[in-house]
Amino acid sequence: MNSIGRPNESAAEIAVRTLTRTVGALNFSDRYFADAIRRLHPTMQQKIFDAFLELVYQLSDDFEAGNHDLRNQTACRNAWIMTQALHNKYLREQANDPSAYR
């Protein structure tokens, strides 16, 4: 049992449930949310960014596999565009300076 009394619920599941309730609120602001993260300790910013980036990669995979519908199509397509742009930037930078990524 975890600290709030739900058996077998991971910290990630608790965080996702809390985040879902938060972003679903009518007064939620993407801009204020991002600004609040920018005010966190740099290590926490990095950990949150890593989690969001993992989400981007997973949504991109869903787009490529066709595992989306009209409700999340835009998120999956935009994630796919982002991963393609990151990959292309990496290839261009590696071509200019191959030692940069070794």
Tens of pLDDT, residue by residue over 76-94, are 999 999 999 999 888 888 7
Residue for token digits 């049992």? 1
Residues 6+ apart with CB under 8 A from 77: 63
* Cα end-to-end span (Å), the chain: 43
More confident position, 95 or 48: 48
Q: Is the pLDDT of residue 101 over 60?
A: no
Q: Which of 32, 31, 1, 28 is nearest to 14 (CA)?
A: 1
Instruction: Give the H or E element holding residue 64.
Output: helix 42-65
Distance between CA atoms of 63 and 86, rounded to whole angstroms? 16
What is the value of pTM for the model shown?
0.79
